[in-house]
Amino acid sequence: MNFALAVHGGAGLSRAGSLSPERQASCRAALEEALRTGARTLASGGSAVDAVEAAVIILEDSPLFNAGHGAVLNADGDAELDAGIMDGRQRTAGGVAGLRRTRNPIQAARAAMEHSPHVLLSGAGADAFASERGLAQVDPAWFVIDERKAQLANLLAGTPDDGSDAYGTVGAVARDLEGHLAAATSTGGTAGKRYGRIGDSPIIGAGTWAWDSTCAVSCTGDGEAFIRSHLAGRVSDWIEMSGLSLREAAHRAIHHDLTGGKGGLIAVGKAGPAVMPYNTAGMFRGRIDMRGEPEVSIW
């Protein structure tokens, strides 16, 4: 069995070429690091779950994306973090929402999957659970960077978007050497969000999905549209019920089933390479398998 891994760092760029060469190079380097980290896990016989968690941690720790350190800020200027993970072997899953202190939300999501009777935990309770499981806690200010402060100020002032921003949600999907699948997604959500808003990333079947019989999917984009469209699960449904290929199912989900929203997804199936469709000008994305070097793209 040939392993496969894909990662994304968000879809939502409004026009091609809107990033500086320096920013593009930094984003590509971070995506490549995530791919190499996950691939090392898979090549050494690690599980798909181990690989997607390891890859997402790299992207959560990077200030370049909307997850973990560098996440977008809510209307009060705080980071509220969501993450979801799913193991395709028995369709076990875990999600966390509204974290403010857990350094790596994807670790909290995995802990919820493996050590909690609940699928989705939120707010202070989710942070408390993560702390009880021994996961690193940080001052909430650790997540906040100057770039996101400026973004929020412009948003609240009604300054027009210059087209250089992206949603920036991060995610990974993997198939391991035993053929098992997993998916993981992590995000800060929507800039300027209010009222404890929760997006699609921690919601199983909306932004995250994995089942060994069909595929593993991680989504990025307009969260409300992905929730309404049941998009990650939709890819699996097309494969299971209509016999579509992974590529056909993923393309149909993004270009036909995603109503009223923009974004993209990465997906891997029981065989073959990952697919990475999107309907925006660009999506930070990359894939790797045991036969080659990382393939990273933005446009």
Is the predicted pLDDT of residue 13 greater than 90, yes or no?
no
Q: How many angstroms separate the CA atoms of 129 and 115, rounded?
A: 10
The model's pLDDT over 150-200, given as tens digits with 9 standing for 90+, comes to: 999 999 999 866 555 566 999 999 999 999 999 999 999 999 999 999 999
- Strands 92-99, 295-297: parallel, antiparallel or unpaired by DSSP? unpaired
What is the arithmetic mean of pLDDT over 72-79?
97
Task: Name the amino acid, one letter, at 194.
Answer: R
What pTM, to 2 d.p., does this model score? 0.97
Q: How many angstroms separate the CA atoms of 22 and 247, rounded?
A: 32
Tokens 């891997």 sit on residue: 268
The model's pLDDT over 16-72, given as tens digits with 9 standing for 90+, comes to: 777 889 999 999 999 999 999 999 999 999 999 999 999 999 999 999 999 999 999
Is the predicted pLDDT of residue 10 greater than 70, yes or no?
yes
Tokens standing for residue 21: 């060469």
pLDDT in the model for residue 160: 66
The model's pLDDT over 107-119, given as tens digits with 9 standing for 90+, comes to: 999 999 999 999 9
Task: Name the amino acid, one letter, at 284.
Answer: F
Q: Is 169 a catalytic residue?
A: yes
Q: How many angstroms separate the CA atoms of 11 and 218, rounded?
A: 12
The more confident residue out of 63 and 290 is 63
Shortest CA distance to 270 belongs to which of 171, 175, 173? Answer: 175
Which is catalytic among the residues 169, 185, 187, 190? 169
The model's pLDDT over 209-249, given as tens digits with 9 standing for 90+, comes to: 999 999 999 999 999 999 999 999 999 999 999 999 999 99
Residue 123 gets the label, from left (phi > 0), alpha (psi -120 to 50) or beta, of left
Domain spans, the chain: 4-297
Which residues does residue 173 pair with via DSSP β-bridges, in sequence order?
A: 6, 183
Tokens 């793209």 sit on residue: 297
Q: How many angstroms separate the CA atoms of 51 and 38, rounded?
A: 4
Residue 263 gets the label, from left (phi > 0), alpha (psi -120 to 50) or beta, of left
pLDDT in the model for residue 19: 85
Q: How many angstroms separate the CA atoms of 83 and 127, rounded?
A: 12
Please report which confidence band the pLDDT of residue 1 belongs to, taking 50, 70 and 90 as the band edges: confident
What is the arithmetic mean of pLDDT over 258-286?
96
- Least confident range from 91-95, 166-170, 245-249, 254-258: namely 166-170
**CB-based contact 68:103 (threshold 8 Å):** yes
What is the arithmetic mean of pLDDT over 102-107?
98
Architecture of domain 4-297: 4-Layer Sandwich (3.60)
pLDDT in the model for residue 167: 60
